């Protein structure tokens, strides 16, 4: 008479070791690793090159995630997720992923200290938790690429994404936070590091900033990279890749799958003084994007020069 086998103890996904793709999965399912927990691990490490694509004003989502120090915007979840208003913030105190104020206001951060290959899924994971939380709750930043909803699944995509910039992080404070010494200390540290930044209201994705004694334009552009670089090269070859007299194109960096060109501005230049010139450049860039003729020799050289000017954001 055969003995009855004892059931195997349950093992969490995190405890499953990696093995060869064709070997039996260590979880005991009888399947090959590549179609069992290997598949799950691949999904968890999925890289999404443009995580905010499909959201209203993708360029501003990218800006708040990568280049703007202190800003907020209001979004609304779909009816499936309660139809609730959520404040989106660049940063929260103690690097929280989200917080639920005693007043009922729910705030979701975009700039956090943890990240996976999908910033949208990370933010959505924190949003899921804050929607289910009680007032007073704080949610750690989440790193949750792979299975699960993304912001594009949870938010009302018909609502515009209107950004409000702040001179500092005083928007963190609500009545119940005023006496919290940790929040106060975090606020003071954050305010000391703020880079003055302004959004050009009539040019999507364009942000003026002052770093030290220099002024810059950082412009998040939504176009596909290769086509955009061609268009910029056409203008650069004609010496038209500028935003007015005394300005200089200094290079580009990538942020959440988009190209962000940067210009040095005239010393002391304010955001209001460059807006017309940036609008003019936007018109020229749009026209250049519509050109389908092959690049000339001068334009190819200009493109090579643009590509070589890779900047680092931090």
Q: What CA dihedral angle connects 209, 214, 215 and 216, to 10 degrees?
A: -80
DSSP 11-29: --GGGPPP--TTSBPTTSS
Q: Is 72 helix (H, G, I), strand (E, B) or coil?
A: strand
Determine phi and psi for 22, rounding to 5 degrees: -95, -5
pLDDT in tens, 239-277: 999 999 999 999 999 999 999 999 999 999 999 999 999
106-109/98-100 β-pairing: antiparallel
Q: What residue has token string 């690097």?
A: 95
Which fold would CATH assign to domain 198-308? Yope Regulator; Chain: A, (3.30.1460)
Show me where the domains of the chain are located: 58-192, 198-308
- Counting as low any pLDDT under 70, the low residues of the chain are 1-16, 18-22, 33-35, 37-45, 175-179, 314
- DSSP character for 27? T
pTM: 0.84
b/e for 126-156, b at 16 or more Cβ within 10 A?
bbbbbbeeeeebebebbbbbeeebbbebbbe
The reported pLDDT for the residue numbered 308 is 96
CA distance 88 to 206: 19
Instruction: Residue 249: name the closest of 211, 314, 305, 190 by CA.
Output: 305
pLDDT in tens, 150-190: 999 999 999 999 999 999 998 887 755 555 787 778 888 88
CA distance 110 to 123: 7
């Amino acid at each position: 008479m055969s003995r009855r086998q004892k059931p195997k103890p349950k093992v969490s996904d995190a405890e499953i070791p990696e093995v060869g793709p064709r070997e039996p999965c260590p979880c005991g399912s009888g399947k090959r690793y590549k179609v069992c927990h290997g598949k799950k691990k691949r999904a968890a490490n999925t890289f999404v090159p443009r995580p905010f694509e499909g959201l209203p004003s993708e360029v501003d989502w990218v800006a708040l995630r990568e280049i703007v120090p202190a800003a907020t915007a209001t979004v609304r979840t779909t009816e499936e997720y309660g139809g609730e208003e959520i404040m989106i913030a660049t940063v929260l105190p103690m690097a929280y992923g989200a917080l639920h104020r005693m007043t009922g206001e729910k705030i979701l951060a975009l700039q956090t200290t943890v990240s996976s290959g999908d910033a949208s899924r990370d933010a959505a994971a924190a949003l899921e938790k804050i929607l289910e939380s009680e007032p007073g709750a704080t949610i750690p930043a989440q790193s949750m690429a792979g299975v699960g909803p993304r912001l594009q699944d949870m938010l009302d995509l018909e609502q515009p994404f209107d950004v409000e910039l702040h001179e500092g992080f005083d928007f963190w404070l609500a009545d119940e936070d005023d006496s919290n010494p940790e929040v106060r200390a975090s606020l003071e540290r954050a305010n000391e590091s703020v880079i003055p930044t302004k959004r050009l209201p009539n040019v999507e994705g364009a942000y003026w900033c002052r770093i030290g004694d220099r002024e810059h334009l950082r412009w998040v552009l939504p176009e596909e990279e290769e086509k955009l670089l061609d268009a910029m090269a056409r203008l650069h070859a004609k010496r038209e890749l500028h935003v007015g007299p005394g300005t200089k194109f200094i290079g580009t960096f990538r942020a959440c799958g988009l190209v962000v060109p940067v210009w040095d501005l005239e010393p002391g230049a304010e955001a209001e003084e460059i807006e017309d010139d940036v609008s003019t450049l936007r018109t020229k860039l749009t026209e250049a994007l519509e050109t389908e003729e092959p690049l000339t020799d001068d334009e190819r050289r200009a493109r090579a020069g643009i590509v070589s000017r890779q900047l680092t954001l931090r």
